[in-house]
Every structure is written in C-alpha cells, then in structure tokens.
Amino acid sequence: MAKLTIKNRDNIEIETNPATSLLLTLGQYGIKIPNRCGGHARCGFCKITIISGHDNFNKRTPHEEHFAKEHNLSEEVRLACQTYVKGPAEIYIGQTK
C-alpha cells in the first residue's frame, strides 16, 4: 500500500495497491474517471499526469506504449487503466502536460 495524493481533487490522499490498476483504485474511492474502452488503453479518457514519485509507477504496458506513441504523450502522462502505483506519489487527474 502506498499513499497517493490527488492534487486537483482537494489534495485527497488515497491508498494504492500495486496489484490493482489506478483506474479501479480511484473508483473504489468514489473518484470517477470517464472511460469508454473498459480499461483497454484505447480511449485515452483515463489520462492522469504524474507530479511526483515517477519511479513508483509501473513502466508503460505495451498497449499503453502504443497509445502514448500514437498520441505523442509526454512521459508524465499515463493511462490510469494501465497504471499501478507501488510507492508515494502525487498526480493530477487529466492531462496537464
């Protein structure tokens, strides 16, 4: 379990589980992120931006890597459905970079 702070949700702090995607974890806390593809790295609606703790996120999955290249996403921008957090971090929900 690790503490994740969501800067653009009044700095709310949630506990993440490295075995559960960030999209599912946020949903467990009642933080709804739109998604249209069921978590398959196709719609891009679940983008988040890493503010700190970059090393505590998994590397991009092949599906996410493909999406990121196609849409020219910066390293800090991740798809919550493909993202797992194993240590303290801060994020914005949405794409800010």
Distance CA(63)–CA(93), nearest Å, equals: 20
- DSSP class per residue in 19-86: TS-HHHHHHHTT-----SSSSSSSS-TTEEEEEE-GGGBPPPPHHHHHHHHHTT--TTEEEGGG--B-
Stretch that binds ligand FES, among 1-9, 24-32, 41-49, 84-92 (CB under 6 A): 41-49
Binding of residue 29 to ligand FES (CB under 6 A): no
Among 79, 89, 91, 93, binds ligand FES (CB under 6 A): 79
Binding of residue 43 to ligand FES (CB under 6 A): yes
Q: How big is the site for ligand FES, counted in residues (CB under 6 A)?
A: 12
In the bound state with ligand FES, the residue whose beta carbon lies nearer, of 16 and 35, is 35
Residues that bind ligand FES (CB under 6 A): 35-37, 39, 41-46, 79, 81
